[in-house]
Amino acid sequence: MNSVSGAQQPLDEIMLAMDVVDTLRHNSKLVDQELSADSRDEQLKEKLRRIYKAQGIEVPDHVLEEGVQALREDRFSYKPPPKSVSSWLAHLYVSRGRWGKWLTGGLGLVLLLWSAYFFMVAGPRSAMPDKIRSSYQTLWHNAKSEKARQVIKRIQNEAETAVENGDEKGMKKALILFDKIRERLDQQYSLRVVVRPGKRSGLWRVPDVNSSSRNYYIIVEPVGSDGTILTVPVTSEETGKETMVSTWGVRVDKKIFEKIAADKHDDGIIQDNILGEKKKGYLLPEYPKHVGGGAITSW
């Protein structure tokens, strides 16, 4: 049989031949009986002719022959390409509408979590050693007393150990302590003796270790340069605890205590009412002689 090529054959005949093949495929019983038997192709074409005639369609013999031959050659049927990386990528690309939005959302979530981790955890953690060094250098420069520098150096030694060990908790603790030291170094105030109705200006206590002696205290308040009464950290010598207070008792010797008491009893006013000064760059107030500097925060 001389086959007619697709380039020369009219389109309607090609479509009709495809329909013949489709009819043969849908009539699987017919195909199984005829193509597996030894009967002639003419018998198969005759049966096809009757099928189309019943539908009112006249199919030329060469078209029927083309359809039978196409069925045998498995033309007009889709053959999936063999599995390969290329075909897998092609299927992946075609189905991108289904998985693309999930992938985009997942990548966005990963990026968001990574950004949050970097800016909230990794970034601050990696910056802590530099921040510790910078804080130490600034505080050391601003400290004006040997006492302050000793405290700063002790904190720095602990911070360096934490950095070497990768101890994040220890580094955070050092930075918190440096912040507290900075606040105390920056403070400036005068210790003014409290003189107000209903408020004590002084008191004495009998120490537990020696019941035959007395500890004398003058009650003071820290007053800033603008007249504001401040709240500052004070460590009680009785409990060893540091408390934020706006008034506390400063231990003095008996002579100072009696002098201030006599001044107040004279006319209710204490003329020399400044007991000490807290200067910038110092951790603690400075006192004149006969003022021990020990403190109590409750009475």
Per DSSP, the residues of 51-99 read: HHHHTT----HHHHHHHHHHHHHTTTS--PPPP-HHHHHHHHHHTHHHH
Position 37 pLDDT exceeds 60: no
Distances (CA, A) of 237 to 31, 176, 258, 296: 110, 24, 22, 6
State pLDDT tens for residues 112-135: 776 666 566 555 667 899 999 999
Q: What is the mean pLDDT of residues 154-165?
A: 95
Q: Pairing between strand 242-245 and 291-296?
A: unpaired
Position 169 pLDDT exceeds 90: yes
Structure confidence at residue 266 (pLDDT):
82
Position 183 pLDDT exceeds 50: yes
Q: How confident is the model at residue 180 (pLDDT cuts 50, 70, 90)?
A: very high
Task: State which of 114-128, 223-237, 254-268 shows the largest mean pLDDT.
Answer: 223-237
Structure confidence at residue 146 (pLDDT):
93
Write down the H helix ranges in 118-270: 123-142, 146-164, 168-186, 254-267
Q: Are 246 and 230 in contact (CB under 8 A)?
A: yes
Q: What is the mean pLDDT of residues 148-160?
A: 96
N- to C-terminal Cα distance for the chain?
123
State pLDDT tens for residues 49-65: 777 777 777 777 777 77
Predicted model pTM: 0.56
Structure confidence at residue 16 (pLDDT):
65
Q: Are 230 and 250 in contact (CB under 8 A)?
A: no
Indicate the SS3 state at residue 244. Answer: strand
Structure confidence at residue 71 (pLDDT):
62
Q: What is the mean pLDDT of residues 186-206?
A: 94
The DSSP secondary-structure symbol of 216 reads E
The overall average pLDDT reported for the chain is 81
Residues above pLDDT 90, as percent of the chain:
47
Position 3 pLDDT exceeds 50: no
